């Protein structure tokens, strides 16, 4: 992903509004794949030893959607531990909110003031739900999460495709639909993936007004996700 593919990617703007820069897009793939791989390694290392809480933290860093699906399936199979799995799901969501904020901080820090209060509120609610439900399940509950390897080249290509589409559609929405168009795209895209839409919103045209729109769009995407 990084050693072979990245060096051959051209650093030029292509496509509508020249928003498709293959090298910049692949840098984002490397960033997100690396971040997800840290969580993936955490899940593999912890296994059943870490219990639901620690596993949820690592799983949320790798993929909150995959973690949610895994906990839902585990809850169906072990109904006596449903509170623990609910807590794990909430913990994964809290990590997703923190992960999104971290990505924005690395790409466009000027959005952070507009994100701070809503993201902090969502993180606090999810974290509180996780703490309460995990506390209610007194016994340690073993769990195994089924996560895709984020360094698989197919997964990287799929994310690159999602990111490219998000960049083009977001810019088209900005040009033709204004603020409402951007927010509409974010709400729909958030149901599929927060990383791609977060990056695309962070790369909208600069300016105080667009910072506000981009921040609102990211918040909306996280809510729908």
Q: What string of DSSP letters covers 84-99?
A: HHHHHHHHHHHHHHHH
Most confident of 13-17, 26-30, 60-64, 88-92: 88-92
- Angle (CA) 202 203 204, round 5°: 100
Strands, E assignment, 95-224 = none
Residue 17 has pLDDT above 80, yes or no: no
pLDDT confidence tier of residue 150, bands split at 50, 70 and 90: confident
182 neighbors 217 (Cβ within 8 angstroms) = yes
Residue 15 has pLDDT above 70, yes or no: yes
pTM over 0.85: no
Residue 48 has pLDDT above 60, yes or no: no
pLDDT recorded at residue 47: 63
CA pair distance 143, 193, nearest whole angstrom: 25
Residue 64 has pLDDT above 80, yes or no: yes
CA pair distance 66, 82, nearest whole angstrom: 17
pLDDT recorded at residue 143: 67
Residue 214 has pLDDT above 60, yes or no: yes
Alpha-carbon distances, residue 153 vs 4, 160, 218 (angstroms)? 11, 10, 27
Q: What percent of the chain shows pLDDT beyond 90? A: 24
pLDDT confidence tier of residue 112, bands split at 50, 70 and 90: very high
Most confident of 6-10, 64-68, 212-216: 212-216
């Amino acid at each position: 992903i990084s050693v072979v593919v990245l060096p051959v990617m051209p650093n030029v703007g292509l496509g509508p509004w020249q928003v498709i820069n293959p090298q910049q897009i692949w840098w984002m793939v490397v960033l997100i794949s690396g971040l997800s791989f840290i969580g993936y390694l955490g899940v593999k290392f912890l296994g059943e030893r870490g219990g639901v809480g620690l596993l949820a933290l690592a799983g949320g860093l790798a993929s909150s959607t995959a973690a949610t699906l895994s906990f839902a399936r585990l809850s169906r199979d072990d109904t006596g531990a449903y509170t623990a799995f609910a807590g794990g799901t909430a913990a994964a969501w809290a990590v997703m909110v923190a992960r999104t904020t971290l990505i924005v901080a690395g790409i466009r820090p000027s959005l952070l003031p507009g994100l701070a209060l809503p993201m902090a509120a969502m993180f606090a609610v999810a974290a509180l739900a996780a703490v309460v439900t995990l506390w209610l399940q007194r016994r340690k509950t073993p769990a195994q999460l089924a996560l895709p390897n984020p360094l698989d080249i197919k997964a990287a290509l799929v994310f690159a495709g999602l990111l490219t589409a998000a960049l083009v559609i977001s810019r088209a929405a900005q040009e033709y639909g204004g603020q409402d168009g951007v927010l509409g795209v974010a709400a729909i895209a958030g149901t599929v993936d927060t990383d791609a839409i977060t990056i695309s919103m962070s790369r909208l045209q600069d300016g105080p007004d667009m910072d506000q729109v981009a921040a609102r769009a990211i918040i909306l995407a996280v809510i729908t996700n």
